[in-house]
Structure 1
Amino acid sequence: MPICVFDIYPDGTATVPTDTNLTGPGAYRWWHFDLTDEMLEPWARENLHDIPAGSLVQKQTRPRCDQFTGGLILNLRGINMNEGQAADEMVSVRMFIESDLLITVRRKRVFALEAIRRLAEAQNAPPSPAVFLEDLVGRLTRRVQEHVEGIDEQTEFFEVDLEDKDTPMPRELPEIRRSVIRLRRYLDPQRAALSKLAALDIPLIPENSQLELHEQANSALIAVEELDELRDRLVSVQEEHDVHVAQRQARHGYVLSVAAALFLPLGFITGLFGVNVAGMPGIHSPWAFAFLCLGIFVLAVLMFALLRKLRWI
């Protein structure tokens, strides 16, 4: 069973049909399904050509826009706003559109479609399939832009933190980098699909709708370009943190090396004089230990002066 079915009229009013015909008396009939519905595939195979039917029931999809006779096969992606799920695990919308028919299929809840459904229930639905597309694409694109802006703010915060070289690398930085990569993976083909949609010269999409879809395609392009920039900026942030870590490690290793250079001869002398065998000088002198300490101190000063002269410290 579909999630909802509406007959939508040119004035935006909507009624729930009582018949099971594919189209109705309104400007168009909107069928909205869940992909997990076991009745979806038999219904699609029975009422549609195999090509659009297959596109609606595919388990895995990517953004696409293809003409089919007088209709349109369209797959789009949106930000996942479902509670407890990652935003970059984007939700998909599968569509088949004709002049008097619009079928949408979703796998996870798509809030943009839910908003349009509420408009239909409030008797303020998009009056034509082209306006429906304008509304849906606009909502999906705006949410993408908002999410990308949020990532941009986080990236700016990371960049400001770089002013303090002792600030550790943010734990969420690798995950944000992966999120940007996943988003771009879906949004780049979506940009291409929207550009193709806006360029279509078919009666289904009148000129005024084409202009609006051109704007949405341009917004999608801007979002992809921003993701490219964010990816590079995040790589730069991580590289600078790596450089700072390497510099600290090198500095600590340098200090340890200098200390080892200072104490190596001192350790040799103390080890030599610690040998517990007969014949060691100063064994019977009460001043021997003081002379040994003094000699070690003088040697340490000489070693320090030598390292300074060699510019090791």
Structure 2
Amino acid sequence: MPICVFDIFADGTTSVPTDTNLTGPGEYRWWHFDLTDEMLEPWAREQLHEIPAGSLIQKQTRPRCDLFNGGLILNLRGINMNAGQAADEMVSVRMFIQSNLLITVRRKKVFAIDTIRQSAVAQNAPTSPAKFIEALVSRLTRRVQEHVESIDAQAEFFEIDLEDKETPMPHELPEIRRSVIRLRRYLDPQRAALSKLAALDIPLIPQDSQLELHEQANSALIAVEELDELRERLVSVQEEHDANVAQRQARHGYVLSVAAALFLPLGFITGLFGVNVGGMPGTGHPWAFAFLCLGMVVLAALMFALLRKLRWI
């Protein structure tokens, strides 16, 4: 059973049909399905040509826009706003559109579709299939832009943090980088699909809708370009954090090396004078230990002066 079916009229009013015909008396009939519905595949095979039917029931999809017998096969993706799920695991909507028919299929809840559904219940639905596409694309693109802006704000925060060289690398940084890569993977083909959609010269997409779709395609292109920039910025942030860690490690190693250079001759002398054999000088002299300590202080000062002269410290 479909999630909802509406006959939508030219003034935006709607009615729920009582028949099972593919089209109805309104401007167009909208069928909305869940992909997990066991009745979807036999219904699609019975009602539609095998090509659009196959596109609606595919398990895995990518954004596409293709003409078919005066109709339109359109797949789009949007930000996943479902509770407890990652936003970059984008949700898909599969569509087949004709002048008097619109079929949408989703696997997970698509909030942009749900908003249009609420408008239909409120007797204020998009007045034509083209207006439906406009409304859907506008909502999907706006939410993509909002999500990209939130990632941009995080990247800016990470960049400001770099002013303090001691700031540790944010633990969210690797996941955000992966998120940008996943979003880029889906949004680039979506940009291409929207550009193709906006360029179509068919009665289904009138000129005023083409202009709006051109704007949405341009917004999708900007989002992809921003993701490319964010990817480079986040790589730069991680590289700078890695460089800061390497510098700290090198500095610590340098201090240890200098300390080792200073104490190496002192350790040799103490080891030499610590041997427990006969014939050690000064064993019977009361000031021998004081002279040994003084000599070691002088030797340490000479070693320090030598390292400074060689510009090792």
TM-score, normalised to structure 2's length?
0.99
Structure 2 gap ranges (5+): none
Q: Distance in 1 between matches of 2:298 and 2:158?
A: 50
The one-letter code of the counterpart of 2:245 is V
Aligned to 1:168: 168
Aligned to 1:290: 290
Aligned to 1:77: 77
Q: Deviations over 1:39-87 (max 9, x none)?
A: 1001000000000000000000000000001100000000000000000
Determine whether 1:198 maps to 2:202. no
Q: CA deviation at 1:276?
A: 1.2
Aligned to 1:269: 269
Aligned to 1:260: 260
The one-letter code of the counterpart of 2:108 is K
Q: Distance in 2 between matches of 1:61 and 1:282?
A: 90
Aligned to 2:49: 49
The one-letter code of the counterpart of 2:123 is Q
What SS does structure 2 have at the residue aligned with 1:84? coil
Q: CA deviation at 1:166?
A: 0.8
Aligned to 1:243: 243
Moved more, 270-279 or 123-132: 270-279
TM-score, normalised to structure 1's length?
0.99
Aligned to 2:30: 30
Aligned to 1:209: 209
The one-letter code of the counterpart of 1:228 is D
What SS does structure 1 have at the residue aligned with 2:304? helix
What SS does structure 1 have at the residue aligned with 2:60? coil
Q: CA deviation at 1:288?
A: 1.4
The one-letter code of the counterpart of 2:2 is P
Q: Deviations over 1:120-166 (max 9, x none)?
A: 00000000000000000000000000000000111111111111111
Q: Distance in 2 between matches of 1:272 and 1:4?
A: 93
The one-letter code of the counterpart of 1:63 is P
Aligned to 1:301: 301
Q: Distance in 2 between matches of 1:38 and 1:279?
A: 100
Runs of 4+ in 1 over 6 A off after TM superposition: none
Aligned to 1:224: 224
Determine whether 1:279 maps to 2:279. yes
Percent pairwise identity? 86
Q: CA deviation at 1:286?
A: 1.8
Over aligned residue pairs, what C-alpha RMSD do you find? 0.6
Q: CA deviation at 1:284?
A: 1.8
Aligned to 2:158: 158
Determine whether 1:128 maps to 2:128. yes
Q: How many residues align?
A: 313
Q: Distance in 2 between matches of 1:191 and 1:166?
A: 40
What SS does structure 1 have at the residue aligned with 2:77? strand
Q: Distance in 1 between matches of 2:148 and 2:78?
A: 12
Aligned to 2:188: 188
Q: CA deviation at 1:186?
A: 0.2
What SS does structure 2 have at the residue aligned with 1:76? strand
What SS does structure 1 have at the residue aligned with 2:169? coil
Structure 1 gap ranges (5+): none
Q: Distance in 1 between matches of 2:90 and 2:224?
A: 15
Aligned to 1:115: 115
Q: Distance in 2 between matches of 1:158 and 1:286?
A: 65
What SS does structure 2 have at the residue aligned with 1:23? coil
The one-letter code of the counterpart of 1:229 is E
Aligned to 2:14: 14
What SS does structure 1 have at the residue aligned with 2:277? coil
